[in-house]
Structure 1
Amino acid sequence: MNELDEQPVFEIALVLSKEEEKIEDEDIHDAWKVLVDELKKAGLLVETVPGLGHGFIKLAAPLEALGKAAAELQIRKRTNIGMDLTFEWDQVKAFARLADGSLFSWCERHHCYRHLIYGIVNRSKLAIPLKYGSKKFYWEPWEPLLRKLETDGILKQVFPLHDEQKKKAMLRSWALNFWDFTSQPIDDIYLYFGTKIAIYFAFLGMYTRWLLFPAALGIVLHIVDFGSLQFLALPLFFTSIITWAVFFFQFWKRKNYALLTRWNISYTVGTGPGYKIFGMDLNSRHHPLEFAKKLETDNAKAKEAYQRDEWLGRLKRIRNDAVIILSIICLQMPFELLYAHLYEVIESDIIKFALTAIYLLLIQYFTRIGGKISADLIKNENIENEYRADSLIYKLFGLYFMQTYIGVFYHALLHRNIMTLRKVLIQRLIVSEVFENLLENSLPYLKYSFKKFGAIRLEKKHNNGSSTGKIKVTSRVEKEYLKSVYSASIGGELEDGLFDDFLELALQFGMIMMFASAFPLTFAFAVVNNIMEIRTDALKLLVMHKRPVPRAAATIGAWLNIFQFLIVMSICTNCALLVCLYDAEGKWRLEPGLAAILIIEHILLLIKFGFSRFVPEEPAWVRASRVKNATHAQNVSRELLRTISGVEKTINLVDGT
């Protein structure tokens, strides 16, 4: 087979409302037929599928259609010599292929699909009358057809479709492969879901493998009696896990660089829709030189506008941060302290367990409200999309940080009841993880069942009970449509479902690190949970939800800073715990014990900020590859300059004659 003959697969679906009554007028074009014809003219393969409550159009794109769209979008791709150049369809053989032999990644293909379907416009000089059922409207000149159909409520949704063949293969090799506890086909995940989801699962897998070391230490410390050396065991354990955490994140950065190099990704912001630099949409058709000329002509006004927007944005950010902090102090903290106090005074373990379950249910609801308020506040900040997402993450983590840890701090530092603290840690780890997994996997199925029941009921109502057979949802595309979207619990505008998954990992990391000295066995609970989390998250993405829209993200972003913050917090909290432990047991006097622990704290802070410089973030082979690519780019640039200079000399000679 020719290397350019990639087998097209239906990857995008359009959902249109069902036609009720039709207008009988031959002079008016049928919108459904016009849409299908225009999609075919754009080079797409089209298949229409009838449904119970909607009509569906499945789309597949031959390689040539994707290639021409990528050239129009000026997507930069890795060439066979290792350089990133703007894609050109005429020079397709010069560009490198991915691991599965395909030319474009899922993120690039999805972007090309949207360019093709939303680029359908009325190129005539007159408005075209269209009809859809009982509706009649006009398609104005140079108006995008899909936008018009969306505005009139005809086009309900555009969503990606699962590739059944690849999905079944990944179910076998990943989601249902329980023998390899932490092994994952990361390259296949990248090719199927895109960079952001692949980076998450790479981080989750590496984090789970590295957790085996502190889990083993925690089990040994819990089982073995060290006798007279017992008073040294906890400080040594705590020092070990801080060193472990520092090295883990440094080696994760190295792995992150290695993955991006292996996937031929050289960007740090992304190539997805909506990413802008200095107000320029990277995915627009306008050439950067045009933008530069426009910026140069109005330089003074642009500079003034940028400065005004910059300081206005900072003031709005300070205001929003103040609103969030005051809300936490005035509203959330009293609620958290009330729960902690009730847990301390109640004697029945059953009532305590029930109280924890009710508390976790309530804070899920309250925090989602806080998340939506935070998202609304951030919309008024004059910052770009990727920074808006980071700002939202920081604000929401502040809410979750307070709700998760304030009660535990109460037991650890104010009440100094270590046995109660251990019970709280066990219940939080078990109840919250079980509760989260139940929500993650049961809610999507319940939503799907409810939508399916509603579609069948609507069809029966439409037929007035005239249908003799049992009404079923038969088409695969309609089943995909009824599934829920992989979105964040606080709304999907800035973040997808990975927000909740990363949040769960961050809260778990804070729980096991900040209270490690009180209960070292928590690391073992975290390992078991994360092994199950890998499989349940895989099933959730492959079976429970629609195929996610790819989001371009080369790192874990703001979450890395949150994990680093939690390491510093764990140094402070564990030193305080050691003071409480040794003072309560009477093995140290408070004064020398406190002095020793302060020394330990300074040593650990030195380890945190010193060892992070010991391990280089970028592997040597990645750095060598980058230097090699830069050298190639410099040589090519010189050749281009020589060519341009030669053209200019020729023009000057012609003008002189």
Structure 2
Amino acid sequence: MLCNRRRPSSSTSWTGTASLSAMGRTIDADIVVRFKYDSKGTTKSEARFEKLVQSLHDVGLSVEARDGDNGSIILFVKLEEKDLVDAVYNSRVQDWLYGVCHTAPEQDAQAMLDSTVLTQAERLRIVYNLITRSPDKGGAGITPKSGDWEDVDAVLPLHDQEFNKRWLKEWSTKYFLSVEELTKIRDHYGEKIAFYFAFLQSYFTFLLLPAIVGTIAYFLFPSFSILFGVICCLWSIIFVEYWTLQEVDLAVQWKVHGVSSIQHVRPEFKPDNEREDIITGNKIKVFSPYKRLARQALQVPFALVAGFALGLLISLCFGIEIFISEVYDGPFKRILVYLPTGLLATLEPSLTGILEKFASRLTDYENYPTADSHEAAEIQKTFLFNLITGYLPVFLTAFVYIPFGPLIAPYLDVVDLLAHKYVNDPLKPIQPSMSFQIDQWRLQQEVIYFGITAQIIDQIFEVVVPYVKHKWVSHRKSQSTKFAAKKSMHIVNDPMYESAFLTRVRNEIELEEYDVNTDLREMCMQFGYLTNFSIVWPLTPLCFLINNWIELRSDAVKICYDMRRPIPHRSDTIGPWLSNLGFLTGLGSINTAALIFLFSGNNDSDAVMGRVKSWGFLATIIFSEQLYFGLRSFVRYGVLQLESKGLLQERRAQFLARKGFLDEVMKARGKRVEQTSKTISRARSNGKKRNSKVSKLAECSDSREADGSLDRRKGLEQALNMGLDIMRQQAPEVGVKRRTTAFF
């Protein structure tokens, strides 16, 4: 057996069809491809369609076509069973060659497949790779929306409605998810989606501690409690180190540990040279790492420009808000107070979208070979935008507004400032505003907003809005179909026995693609709010705990009904988000210490400003940073002392593989020894003369062995006696009795 893959329960086994329907005929398919053509029927579209069908056929895929409506054709693609066996066998052999699986493959491919379970995710992944992989790797080389395949705008598997219903029904009655339930997700949607739900489940479970402690701190501890701050910092460090270990355990259990080493080359990758792989000996295409490093250096000015632009916009809106709400006392104040919110809601998405396009182009220019490395580089660039837009308003309130509000307020009063400059003495310094009063609750209100209101808004935009949008699009499409029928325009005439199924297929294709990084980004930002600002409002962890219980289920609903079925890509980690969690943990330890130093005790503006200007503020930041590194090293050392079940399982698999190889070698050697013994026996039976010679040789050999044993015994006795004589000669003569050692 190639890999000991766990056989799933009957609820997760696959019938082999893309869709099961209680009524009507369904088309047996693995993947659906939509081809958009020119409605005028140009020869160019026909040639591209012929090329598409021929390319799919050349890699062993069967194709069936149906009308896709709105100038499109839907192709139902399936890999036949006889070709599936070879494709699965080749995939698992590759896993064994690269060390992902440690059990040697069987020689019979069909026997290997019969002794293991082929999950939905593995089958769909193999078929998808056959469609999209480059021809030199055995694929059709179809890259949707790019190059020669710009008319191919969708390649996706169809949802299994029966599985989705069972999945949501089971989760609706449970508070915690077991590894078996996560494995069901992995078998159906692939490891990348399963890792997200495993992370969310672990994060939800870990939130129980800060939620309980935070509730106690809110009612019993003083504001900005040092004890609660230390607990939150230590908790965040332990969680990150725990999840690092948990990732390895799950990757080993799901047979994907080290799978990143066999990622396929992106079609967009532009190599500048070819060389021989040191390990495999194959020719591989490479891009100079020095050229990539030079291109990556452009990230520095890009980050500075992006940070300055977003920071300037947020700071400007923040200043306008402070001026209107707390300085301005003129007409239309009740209306103008919403001006900064409107500006931010209008300008920030536009600016962020422009910067994200630049980040995407810069990532393309850096020319990464694999999809994972390209995705990680782009995530790290956009993560900078998330940090600025998510955390900067709270930082401005804590470290600018409260300490320096009275000093900044006069500069916000534009009318008074201009009058002072052009009417009064320009050399007279501007005095702090005596009427300006710091809103002591502003910091807590902002944290409460991000802890409660923002979470509710995110849930609405993630689940409700896509659902309403999908229903609206479906309604508009049905209305347009009726209008086309009245006007004798082109309408889809589906066979009655396929109509319901094809309608559902068209609706699924119209759904948006699911990006797991969007949900991981949301959880990462939430984790950052907790580690950085929960000291301001200790009920923050409790709010996140409740939100994440809902998030687990709402994300499942979103995947099942509001998004296309994801391609089951393999992964052995949550990607760069793990390093981002570590960064937020370190930032949180510094920020928590700074907030405690500034606001514990008397937190009026003058007192806080005095603490900011003191050396104690800088010393607190430096001390908290060093304390963080010390605690992280201590926790990491402690976690490493724990026996990782995954690593133990992997080492056991490696040992059994080597032991099996050794047993085969020893078995073969035993057969050779047995054969040699039989040959000697036959030689002895050939004559007395030969027997006597053999006996004499054996007697001589025995005597030599006996003499050698006696000589060794004599040499040992002689060496000991000589050594004892040397020691006694150096010792005083009085009271020394010589003795002789004999060995008999």
User: In the superposition, relative to structure 1, how do residues 152 and 500 fare at CA in structure 2: closer, same or farther (>3 Å)?
Assistant: closer
* 2:646 corresponding residue in structure 1: 622
The match for 1:384 among 355, 358, 369 is 369
* 1:204 corresponding residue in structure 2: 200
State the alpha-carbon separation in 1 of the partners of residues 203 and 634 from structure 2: 21
* 1:214 corresponding residue in structure 2: 210
Scaled by the length of structure 2, the TM-score of the pair is: 0.67
* 1:367 corresponding residue in structure 2: 352
The match for 1:438 among 445, 456, 460 is 460
* 2:505 corresponding residue in structure 1: 477
* 2:15 corresponding residue in structure 1: 7
Residue 195 (1) aligns with residue 191 (2): yes
User: In the superposition, relative to structure 1, how do residues 395 and 143 fare at CA in structure 2: closer, same or farther (>3 Å)?
Assistant: closer
Deviation at 1:377, TM superposition (A): 0.7
Residue 408 (1) aligns with residue 408 (2): no
Residue 262 (1) aligns with residue 253 (2): yes
Equivalent residues of 1:254, 1:619 under 8 A apart:
no
Equivalent residues of 1:67, 1:88 under 8 A apart:
no
Identical aligned residues as a percent: 20
* 5+ residue gaps, structure 2: 1-6, 8-12, 19-29, 327-332, 403-438, 670-744
State the alpha-carbon separation in 1 of the partners of residues 283 and 666 from structure 2: 27
User: In the superposition, relative to structure 1, how do residues 287 and 58 fare at CA in structure 2: closer, same or farther (>3 Å)?
Assistant: farther
* 2:124 corresponding residue in structure 1: 109
* 5+ residue gaps, structure 1: 122-141, 281-285, 296-301, 487-496, 646-657
* 1:90 corresponding residue in structure 2: 108
Q: Could you give the per-residue CA deviations for residues 459-491 of structure 1, whole angstroms, max 9, x where no partner exists? A: 5576562489999984221121121222xxxxx
* 1:427 corresponding residue in structure 2: 449
Equivalent residues of 2:248, 2:647 under 8 A apart:
no
The match for 1:165 among 162, 165, 174 is 162
* 1:333 corresponding residue in structure 2: 311
Residue 574 (1) aligns with residue 598 (2): no
Q: Could you give the per-residue CA deviations for residues 497-520 of structure 1, whole angstroms, max 9, x where no partner exists? A: 122211111211111211222221
Task: Give the partner amino acid of 1:369.
Answer: I
SS of 2:602's equivalent in the other structure is: helix
Equivalent residues of 1:260, 1:554 under 8 A apart:
yes
Deviation at 1:383, TM superposition (A): 3.4
Q: Could you give the per-residue CA deviations for residues 97-156 of structure 1, whole angstroms, max 9, x where no partner exists? A: 77xxx32561453233441698999xxxxxxxxxxxxxxxxxxxx997999999487654
User: In the superposition, relative to structure 1, how do residues 362 and 507 fare at CA in structure 2: closer, same or farther (>3 Å)?
Assistant: farther
Equivalent residues of 2:317, 2:343 under 8 A apart:
no
State the alpha-carbon separation in 1 of the partners of residues 344 and 461 from structure 2: 15
* 2:88 corresponding residue in structure 1: 70
State the alpha-carbon separation in 1 of the partners of residues 345 and 668 from structure 2: 67
Residue 342 (1) aligns with residue 342 (2): no
Deviation at 1:52, TM superposition (A): 3.3
Equivalent residues of 1:343, 1:352 under 8 A apart:
yes
Task: Give the partner amino acid of 2:392.
Answer: I
Residue 58 (1) aligns with residue 76 (2): yes
SS of 2:108's equivalent in the other structure is: helix
Deviation at 1:424, TM superposition (A): 0.9
State the alpha-carbon separation in 2 of the partners of residues 202 and 147 from structure 1: 30
* 1:292 corresponding residue in structure 2: 281
State the alpha-carbon separation in 1 of the partners of residues 466 and 373 from structure 2: 29
Identify the range of structure 1 (85-94 vs 510-519) with the bigger mean alpha-carbon deviation: 85-94
Identify the range of structure 1 (473-482 vs 449-458) with the bigger mean alpha-carbon deviation: 449-458
State the alpha-carbon separation in 1 of the partners of residues 118 and 233 from structure 2: 43
Deviation at 1:447, TM superposition (A): 4.8
Task: Give the partner amino acid of 1:292.
Answer: G
The match for 1:319 among 287, 295, 298 is 298
Give the number of aligned pairs: 581
Deviation at 1:546, TM superposition (A): 0.7
Deviation at 1:238, TM superposition (A): 0.8
State the alpha-carbon separation in 2 of the partners of residues 146 and 374 from structure 1: 22
Equivalent residues of 1:512, 1:522 under 8 A apart:
yes
The match for 1:613 among 615, 627, 637 is 637
Q: Could you give the per-residue CA deviations for residues 20-76 of structure 1, whole angstroms, max 9, x where no partner exists? A: 68899xxxx999899879968966565544443333233344543322123455653
Residue 238 (1) aligns with residue 229 (2): yes
Equivalent residues of 2:249, 2:647 under 8 A apart:
no
Equivalent residues of 1:16, 1:154 under 8 A apart:
yes
SS of 1:379's equivalent in the other structure is: helix
User: In the superposition, relative to structure 1, how do residues 518 and 42 fare at CA in structure 2: closer, same or farther (>3 Å)?
Assistant: closer
Scaled by the length of structure 1, the TM-score of the pair is: 0.74
SS of 2:640's equivalent in the other structure is: coil
Task: Give the partner amino acid of 1:313.
Answer: R
Equivalent residues of 1:321, 1:395 under 8 A apart:
no
